[in-house]
């Protein structure tokens, strides 16, 4: 199926006032039915085809480190696949992100397929924005399963209110981040929660600073998840704080120098 046969996703779904409040207070919220069953079925086929075509991880699970065991990760599929492009640049998703953040316009940072294989390991505690050289707290990740999932499959788990603490240190996704952030969560007494189940086409949205992790996949089914990251328009590129931010500055922001607007050709304003 080509992109012309896929349903357009440019209509708006307005988040409920309670979802907006939950997002800003807790740092995360769940929006059900962002895609309807027919839409998610068609886009799942397209995303799966692209994700497995461009996946470069060929090692057995036992040969990988903690990060590698957590998921198969394929980034910026919208650059190389027109069907995924239509998904990633959907105004429906971006408008929810903008409304939750309380901003008029958002830009794309990148998309990311995150497939946790059967027997795949846990995803350590981390902050997404650790990787992003941006000067705004108005950043958000949409995390959407393409199949029905439950807790046994690696459900995203949040430390509520942790986004208000901002940057917690140079901690990439690793055993170190799992240990250090787990201790921090206990010290700060952040409530930890996750959904029992999510249907295909539901989506969680969380701030870039929200601490989150995911358990391993105990099922015999691959947990298929597609993510899209947004940030408020007019954000500036900051001086990278670590090698990962420098890599992101070069790759996802096309080398824009610190102090300039984060608005490369890879960061279109979607709404």
Per-residue pLDDT of the chain (271 residues; tens, 9 = 90+): 666 689 999 999 999 999 999 999 999 999 999 999 999 999 999 999 999 999 999 999 899 999 888 889 999 999 999 999 999 999 999 999 999 999 999 999 999 999 999 999 999 999 999 999 999 999 999 999 999 999 999 999 999 999 999 999 999 999 999 999 999 999 999 999 999 999 999 999 999 999 999 999 999 999 999 999 999 999 999 999 999 999 999 999 999 999 999 999 999 999 9
Which two tokens mark 258?
């610190």
Q: How far is CA 204 from CA 34, 49, 66, 77, 96, in A?
A: 10, 23, 24, 20, 11
Q: Indicate the DSSP class of residue 196.
A: S
Radius of gyration of the chain from Cα atoms?
Answer: 17
Domain count, the chain: 1
Is residue 136 situated within a structural domain? Answer: yes
Half-sphere exposure of 143 (CA within 13 A, CB side): 26
Q: Residue 106 is part of a domain; what is its CATH number?
A: 2.60.120.620
Query: What is the spatial distance between Cα 21 and Cα 244, in angstroms, rounded to a whole number?
Result: 32
| 224 phi, psi to nearest 5 deg | -95, 115
CB 148 within 8 A of CB 178: no
200 in a domain, yes or no? yes
Q: Are 259 and 237 in contact (CB under 8 A)?
A: yes
Q: Is 240 a domain residue? A: yes
| In-domain check, residue 16 | no
User: Read out DSSP for 122-182?
Assistant: PEEEE-GGGG--BS-S-EEEEEEESS-EEGGGT--EEETTGGGG----S--SSHHHHHHHH
The pLDDT, as a whole number, for residue 70 is 84
Q: Which residues, in sequence order, are CB contacts of 131 under 8 Å at separation 6+?
A: 172, 244, 245, 248
Q: Is residue 18 part of a domain?
A: no
Nearest to 224 by CA among 79, 80, 44: 44
Residue 115 pLDDT: 97
DSSP secondary structure letter of residue 240: P
For residues 259, 261, 266, 268, the Cα torsion angle rounded to the nearest 10 degrees is 160
**Nearest in space to 139 (alpha carbons), one of 151, 130, 148:** 130
**Does residue 22 sit within a domain?**
no
Domain membership of residue 94 as a residue range: 27-251
- This model's pTM is above 0.85: yes
The confidence score (pLDDT) of residue 12 equals 97
232: helix, coil or strand?
Answer: strand
Does residue 1 fall inside a structural domain?
Answer: no
Asked if residue 76 is part of any domain, the answer here is yes
The reported pLDDT for the residue numbered 4 is 66
């Amino acid at each position: 199926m080509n992109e012309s046969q896929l349903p357009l996703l440019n209509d708006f779904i307005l988040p409920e006032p309670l979802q907006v409040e939950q997002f800003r207070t807790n740092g995360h919220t769940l929006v059900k039915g962002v895609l309807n069953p027919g839409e998610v079925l068609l886009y799942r086929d397209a995303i799966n085809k692209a994700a497995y075509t461009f996946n470069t991880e060929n090692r057995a699970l036992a040969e990988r480190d903690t990060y590698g065991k957590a998921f198969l990760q394929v980034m910026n599929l919208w650059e190389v696949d027109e069907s995924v492009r239509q998904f990633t640049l959907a105004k429906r998703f971006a408008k929810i992100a903008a409304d939750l953040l309380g901003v008029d316009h958002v830009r794309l940072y990148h998309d990311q397929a995150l497939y946790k294989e059967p027997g795949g390991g846990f995803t350590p505690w981390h902050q997404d924005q650790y990787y992003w050289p941006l000067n705004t707290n108005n950043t958000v990740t949409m995390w959407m399963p393409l199949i029905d999932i439950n807790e046994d499959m690696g459900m995203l788990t949040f430390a509520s209110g942790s986004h208000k603490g901002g940057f917690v240190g140079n901690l990439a996704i690793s055993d170190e981040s799992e240990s250090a952030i787990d201790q921090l969560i206990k010290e700060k007494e952040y409530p930890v929660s996750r959904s029992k189940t999510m249907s295909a086409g539901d989506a969680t949205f969380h701030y870039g600073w929200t601490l989150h992790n995911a358990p391993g996949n105990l099922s015999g089914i691959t947990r298929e998840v597609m993510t899209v990251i947004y940030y408020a328009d007019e954000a500036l590129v900051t001086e990278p704080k670590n090698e990962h931010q420098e890599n992101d500055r070069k790759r996802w922001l096309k080398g824009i120098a610190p102090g300039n607007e984060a608005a490369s050709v890879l960061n279109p304003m979607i709404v």
